[in-house]
Chain A
């Protein structure tokens, strides 16, 4: 297995799937302002996906483009975390998923800007600017919903309880990561999860939300073992290219 290809695919698939989830809000946002905000976020993620999957295709060297990788793989070949494929639920659920992910992405990109791999470093530098805003935006919402009305607090607490089990997979590391860190391609990720817990904990405490004590964890996405939701996402995402191969417009 080509470790660099695999690593870049993991980054790219997280962006692709969460970007797609956010795009599902287009025209359905709770207020016009937030509808535009979420589609802006979605476009940021789809932009990151294009850069990452293009690079993955180059690393692989088999002539696959970013479009081939986005639209023509099978579900087991997608390596996104389970967190990003979870359904949107209500607005609070979407913001909670976004918040847990943004906090991780911001810390991750802050490290990846120092990657020896120049392409990864450049994509991280560009994405970090967007991600800092994403994190601010989702944090502000978590604080307002958590420290809002009794109902908003209860709903967003339920979302946290539901999504918490998927958070630890963000820090999944295996031989792929070890090989790249060993070779110096990417920097060490030591302490990343602790930093994330601190960053997330500060916001959740301000939001008067409680971190679940249930430590049951669920993962598998990084190895291609997904929840039932990914299949539905892919059928929508891939429909055009599957029905009309090579279609352009």
Chain B
């Protein structure tokens, strides 16, 4: 039975126009059309979204957690990449 299990799909929902799709979870479905329908039933029943993307989990490629040292830590010491060295003039709001 184990190898007869439906493939796994990752679900991305756009909560409203203008925002990007966000990963909300995963589910099993026989094919892409059914994955969209299942996602509609599982993840949007409380009006969470206006658009759904699904992608078969097999097709996602992820960075290796063991490489975190070399991938992400070097940028921790490069604070000058943040635009924090400017004086903000008086009267500028929302900064």
Contacts and interface: CB of A to CB of B under 8 A. Distances in A.
B49 to A, nearest CB: 14
Interface stretch (B13-21, B31-39, B71-79): B31-39
A31 B28 CA distance: 9
B94 interface: no
B50 interface: no
A132 interface: no
Nearest to A137: B37
A36 interface: yes
A99 to B, nearest CB: 14
A36 B42 contact: yes
B15 to A, nearest CB: 19
A92 to B, nearest CB: 14
B38 A33 contact: yes
B6 A31 contact: yes
A31 B6 CA distance: 10
A31 B29 CA distance: 9
A76 B30 CA distance: 43
Contacts of A32: 27, 42
A33 B41 contact: yes
Contacts of B30: 144
Nearest to A37: B41
B38 A37 contact: yes
B33 A36 contact: no
B41 A136 contact: no
Contacts of B41: 33, 36-37, 40
Nearest to A40: B41
A140 B34 contact: yes
A126 to B, nearest CB: 15
B82 interface: no
Nearest to B38: A33
Nearest to B34: A140
B47 to A, nearest CB: 13
A140 B34 CA distance: 8
A35 to B, nearest CB: 10
Given A33-B29, A37-B37, A144-B34, 13 more contacts: A31-B6, A33-B27, A33-B28, A33-B38, A34-B38, A36-B41, A36-B45, A40-B41, A40-B45, A140-B33, A140-B34, A144-B30, A144-B31
